[in-house]
Amino acid sequence: MDIGNINLNLIVVDKYQDRHDALAYAAYLFSAYGLAVALTWAFRSLKAAILNAAWFQRFIALPLVRRWRSDVRFRTRVSLYFGLAINLLYAVIKLVSGVRYHTSWFVVLALYYAFLAVMRFAVLSSARRDPHGQDLIAEYRRYRLCGMILFGMNAVLSGMVAFIIAHNASYEYPGTLIFLMAAYTFYMFILAIVNLVRFRKYGSPLLSAVKAIGMTAALVSMLSLETAMLDQFGGDDPARFRATMIGVTGAVICAVVLIMSVVMIVRSTRALKSLTR
pLDDT of residue 267: 92
Distance separating alpha carbons of residues 264 and 153, to the nearest angstrom: 14
CA distance linking residue 20 with residue 235, whole number of Å: 11
pLDDT tens per residue across span 225-243 = 888 777 776 655 557 777 8
**Among 61, 88, 105, where does a domain finish?**
61
Task: Please tell me the least confidently modeled range out of 22-31, 145-154, 225-234, 252-261.
Answer: 22-31
Burial of 241 (0-12, 13-18, 19+ CB in 10 A): middle
Are 56 and 68 within one domain?
no
Mean pLDDT of 179-200: 76
Using CA atoms, how far apart are residues 204 and 226, in angstroms rounded to an integer? Answer: 33
Q: Let me know whether 137 and 206 are in one domain.
A: yes
Considering the entire predicted model, what is its pTM? 0.69
Is residue 155 domain-shared with residue 19, that is, in the same domain? Answer: no
Domain that holds residue 144: 64-275
Q: What is the pLDDT of residues 193-213, one digit of tens each?
A: 777 777 666 667 877 888 888
Instruction: Give the chain's mean pLDDT.
Output: 77
Report whether pLDDT(8) > 50.
no
Total tally of structural domains belonging to the chain: 2
pLDDT at 178: 73
Residues 106 and 2 in one domain: no
Same domain for 121 and 210, yes or no, is yes
235 contact partners, CB below 8 Å, separation of at least 6? 24, 241
pLDDT: which is higher, 154 or 82: 154
Indicate if 56 and 76 belong to the same structural domain. no
Q: Could you say which of 61, 89, 107 is where a domain stops?
A: 61
Shared domain check, 102 and 35: no
pLDDT greater at residue 238 or residue 94: 94
Instruction: Examine the domain organization and report whether 94 and 154 are in the same domain.
Output: yes
Whole-Å CA distances, 98 to 105, 108, 170:
7, 9, 10
d(CA 142, CA 148): 10
CA distance 151 to 155: 7
Choose one of 26, 43, 61: the last residue of a domain: 61
120 and 255: one domain?
Answer: yes
Least confident span in 22-36, 54-68, 235-249: 22-36
Let me know whether 32 and 135 are in one domain: no
Domain check: are 225 and 247 in the same one?
yes
The one-letter amino acid code at 107 reads: V
DSSP three-state, residue 94? helix
Q: Is the pLDDT of residue 16 over 50?
A: no
Taking residues 18-31, report their average pLDDT: 63
pLDDT grade for 11, boundaries at 50, 70 and 90: very low
Residues 149 and 212 in one domain: yes
